[in-house]
Amino acid sequence: MNQKELEEKIIQNYQGEEKMMILVFAQWCVNHDLNPEEIYLRAYPGQAKNQALQEAIELTVPKEEAGDVPDQTLLGVLSMFGNDDLAFVVMEEMKEMKEMKEMKEMKEMKKDGKA
């Protein structure tokens, strides 16, 4: 394998891994009833539609059929590819979901007379 072929192979591998990262992000969004495009646009408001994201969205499955995508896994792959702005928006969503869950639990405790 010559230098040019090696470079092309490295680029292909990177692009394949990048597509997997985008799919992980899109599936995490679906699993949490979030719109991947909206989250992406919050992180990168100046960018046009992302073709790779569109393709990944088409590959997602309903959350009932999907495996769990742990929050830390998503943040790890976003970080690995330097998507810090997107990771920041995702962390904001995670925080909001946690707060909503805690509020719901508090309401249930009050309703049940435990608080």
Q: How far, in Å, are 9, 74, 99 from residue 89 at the CA level?
A: 32, 12, 15
- The answer to whether residue 24 sits within a structural domain is yes
Rg (alpha carbons) of the chain, rounded to whole number: 18
What distance in Å separates the CA atoms of residue 56 and residue 93, rounded to the nearest whole number?
Answer: 20
For residue 15, the model assigns a pLDDT of: 83
Angle 65-96-63 (CA atoms, 0-180°, nearest 5)?
Answer: 5
State how many domains the chain has. Answer: 1
- The answer to whether residue 53 sits within a structural domain is yes
- The answer to whether residue 33 sits within a structural domain is yes
What's the average pLDDT block by block, 10 residues per block, for the chain (115 residues)? 87 87 97 97 91 96 95 96 96 96 89 71
Other C-beta atoms lying within 10 Å of the C-beta of residue 75: 18
- 3: tokens are 């230098």
- The answer to whether residue 74 sits within a structural domain is yes
- The answer to whether residue 101 sits within a structural domain is no
For residue 114, the model assigns a pLDDT of: 64
Amino acid at 26: A
Give the domain range for residue 41: 3-89
Amino acid at 92: E
Q: Which residue has the tokens 């059929």?
A: 65
- The answer to whether residue 97 sits within a structural domain is no
- The answer to whether residue 111 sits within a structural domain is no
- The answer to whether residue 108 sits within a structural domain is no
